Amino acid sequence: MEQIKPGIFIEETYLGVIVGALVYPHGTIFIDAPLRAEDARAWRTTLLNHSSGSNRLLITLDSHIDRTLGAKAFDCPIMAHEKTALVFRSRPSVFKGQNLENGSDWEGYVDSIGTRWAIPDITFSHQVTLYWGGPEVLVEHHPGPTPGSIWVSIPLEKVVFIGDCVLVNQPPFLAYADLDAWQESLDELLQKYPDYLILSSRSGVIQPADIHHQKTFLKDLKSRLEKITKKNSTPDTFSKIIPPLLSHFEMDQTKKEQYVKRLQVGLYEYFTRRDNPPKEEIAEIEPASDEEEL
């Protein structure tokens, strides 16, 4: 565990994503959950020694299995974007795995099968402001990697958690991506957070050069996808663009097969979703307040 600013902690050793926590007088705000339930319980216990308040809240930055499967072990309310909550409507109550390997960390953890999902208790549409006795905490919608992707920022401390918005030396998950919205989120990150400590859920602290690299990759990806579309190509043609896409990354070669699968499945799902959007994406959602305070 590392304390990066007063009351702000991260842990990079758990399977799944890099998790964070804000420990303030009213209690602890967890940012994402470790994949394994035993890790989630250990993380919760460790932070109890630093907290003077008894309240707990878990914020999930999107719906990805790597960051949501261990959520139930926290035994506390869960906050997520309303579009993330929609994803859980299509999931069975118990995690049964998936037919396709998609390059995620959960695939190496067979004990995950049979885990019961924890459904978000609190949802929002645009922004929520949290006051827990410490500095103001902003939870904001920044779509791109998924429709329900969010960031958690602490303006006074100049810290922002951005989930999977930027990944270093590995390809992103593309199954539910909105490439135009993703570029807009990256632009906002460069323009509005130039002096922030920026934390990626899979790469830790990132630099402006990493953001620019993510923009370049997405621009190249979009160009290649447009060419495929113009040729009326089938999803089978995705394999042809994977090598040039992987050339953007100085990746660990032992993980190359994992990253190839990640792109194969992600691109297939991206095109399938584009041509046949699921009901969850087109369903009308009861509008929520644009700004809320808790």
Q: How far is CA 70 from the centre of its chain?
A: 14
DSSP code, position 254: G
Residue 223 C-beta-side C-alpha neighbours within 13 Å = 8
Q: What is the pLDDT along the chain (294 residues), one digit of tens a residue?
A: 899 999 999 999 998 899 999 999 999 999 999 988 889 999 998 888 777 778 999 999 999 988 988 898 898 999 999 999 998 877 766 555 554 445 555 555 555 555 667 889 999 999 999 999 999 999 999 999 999 999 999 999 999 999 999 999 999 999 899 999 999 999 999 999 999 999 999 999 999 999 999 999 999 999 988 887 766 656 567 788 899 999 999 988 888 888 888 898 888 888 877 665 555 443 333 333 344 455
pLDDT score recorded for residue 285: 33
Closest of 149, 154, 178, 148 to residue 165, by C-alpha: 149
pLDDT score recorded for residue 289: 38
How large is the angle between the packed helices 238-246 and 208-230, nearest 10 degrees? 160
For residues 165 and 158, what is the distance between their CA atoms, to the nearest angstrom?
18
The residues facing 59 across adjacent strands are 31, 79
Domains present along the chain, CATH in parentheses: 2-293 (3.60.15.10)
pLDDT score recorded for residue 107: 54
Amino acid in position 26: H
Amino acid in position 37: A
78 phi/psi in degrees, rounded to 5: -120, 135
HEC letters along 191-230 = HHCCCCEEEECCCEEECHHHHHHHHHHHHHHHHHHHHHHH
pLDDT score recorded for residue 265: 86
Tokens for 212, please give them. Answer: 């620019």
Do 171 and 259 touch, CB atoms closer than 8 A? yes
pTM recorded for the entire structure = 0.87
Closest of 291, 233, 292 to residue 267, by C-alpha: 233
For residues 115 and 65, what is the distance between their CA atoms, to the nearest angstrom?
11
pLDDT score recorded for residue 112: 54
Going along 32-158, which residue ranges are E strands?
55-59, 78-81, 122-124, 127-130, 137-141, 150-154
pLDDT score recorded for residue 282: 35
DSSP code, position 115: P
Do 151 and 161 touch, CB atoms closer than 8 A? yes
For residues 272 and 278, what is the distance between their CA atoms, to the nearest angstrom?
10
Beta carbons within 8 Å of 206's beta carbon, 6+ residues apart: 166, 168, 198, 199, 200
Q: How far is CA 291 from the centre of its chain?
A: 21
